[in-house]
Amino acid sequence: MKIEILDEAEADLIEGYHFYEAQDAGLGSYFLDSLFSDIDSLLIHAGVHAVVFGYRRCLSKRFPFAVYYSVEGALIRVFRGAGLSSQRHVDSEPLRKTVNVSSLVAVIVLLAECHFLFD
């Protein structure tokens, strides 16, 4: 199986990084480490999570954050990440607008741009 992350999900992860890094130095990196671990776990557990807004929702083990994804054959597509403690992230309307846009067909591979945050 292969995991691909859309631009919107990558932006959500980077936003989460900045939020947690502002709380305490190093916490943003820990957030990304934890979320990438949760995303990597989809290679084993993809498809077992509840369907919410038409996509599977994996809840992070360490942060109030959810990863929305779909399984399409041997491909796991990560559409969005959503912070559960922030009302602007929990609101379902932005997620619905995002997942219904035809541009979601275009996917991205885990990019080095996310990994520069670990250095």
Q: What is the CATH number of the domain that holds 16?
A: 3.30.2310.20
- For residue 60, what are the domain limits? 2-118
What b-and-e string marks burial along 28-56, b requiring 16 or more CB atoms within 10 Å of the CB?
beebbebbbebbeebeeebeebeeebebb
- Tell me, what's the pLDDT at 97? 37
Q: How far apart are CA 39 and CA 75, in angstroms?
A: 13
Please state the pTM of the whole predicted model.
0.69
Count of domains for the chain: 1
Task: Dump pLDDT digits (tens) for 43-73.
Answer: 999 999 999 989 999 999 999 999 999 999 9
